[in-house]
Amino acid sequence: MHSFLEPFTFNNGATLRNRIMLAPMTNFASAEDGETTVDELAYYRERSTGTGAVITACANVTADGKGFPGEIGVYDDSLIDGLADLAETIQAEGAKAILQIFHGGRMCPPDLLPDGQPVSASAIPAERENAATPRALEHDEIEEIVEAFANATRRAIKAGFDGVEIHGANTYLIQQFYSPHSNQRDDTWGGSRYERMTFPLAVTRAVAAAALEAPPEFIVGYRFSPEEREEPGITMDDTLELVRHLAEEDLDYLHVSVQDFFAGSMRDENDTRSRVEMIQAEVGEQIPVIGVGSLYTVDDANRAMATGVPLLALGRELIVDPDWVEKAADGREEEIRTELSLEEREDLVVPETLWNTIGNTPGWFPVKEHREEEDHG
């Protein structure tokens, strides 16, 4: 049997039936207020039948932290019933349900926000076209957001989720506080590398404290991006220091966010070491590390597991083939799809907005039509 099909038990006693998790991917399928929808539940049901756990798309912990249209909401008690439907849908197929909790910070589109004003650690816009300049958060507001993460965790518990994942990756608010590009504060929330760690650690501790209200098997994870392209930006040294601190916190796993498990540095093309392998080497003895990124085949997954990481997350791979795990388990590896056909949306149970986004974002997914157009171009 492939090692990724073996059960995995966290230190808190929670057991996954196998080591494959659905990676969190925005699907744009929730209602405008963040309520889950029939299309969204169908998407998750299809991808819960074989996986050990499903990590949902990000759910905003405050109304002004919404980063995407159609995003799951966890910012108000009125959303708990819909969240419970989502948790039950995932669990009914045998997977653990983990809600990713999030604040978009300066990456929030103004038109999705109640007052049209993104916020961040400092009033510095992102380095992207037409980026809005955020308002620097006041001390009291920062503490309120920390508490919002705790309250989101309490709502996840009430909704019956098996855990939460703190979204500290992909340039959103938690990462913005750690980044020297977006955090140029000179108070307790910024300054040195250690001081920039204050907000991520405060959120982690608040979430862990709220999780004590759940059964002991409630899972708390933390996702992060190893590097930033910006200058100054987060370096691998910064991240190794962060994960050393996170490994000392009351967390059940660390989840690396990269596009390719085996890729080297985005900052230094001469540094070809896998970021995931470096993190596993640094803290893997202390805390489980989830590896991710372009693991389309069973051979890819076995090669990744051979590095020592105990868990793998598949995102694009489980959109391309929702039956990936079942096919691997049944010895039908050659039947695993590794490319999308843009005619297969209904068969693959993918919400329409996500499907259109995939089709309009060349290079994000391996798509048959795109490759054939290139071959004949």
24 DSSP 8-state letter: P
Spatial separation of the C-alpha atoms in residues 275 and 253, rounded to whole Å: 16
Whole-Å CA distances, 352 to 30, 278, 296: 12, 37, 23
Report the catalytic residues: 172
Instruction: Cite the DSSP H helix spans in 221-367.
Output: 236-246, 275-283, 298-305, 316-320, 324-329, 345-348, 352-359
Largest CA distance in the chain: 59
Q: In this structure, how many other beta carbons lie within 10 angstroms of the beta carbon of residue 247?
A: 18
- Please enumerate in sequence order all residues whose Cβ is within 8 A of that of 213, keeping only pairs 6 or more positions apart, or say none: 154, 157
Q: Which amino acid would we find at residue 21? A: M
Structural Rg of the chain based on CA atoms: 20
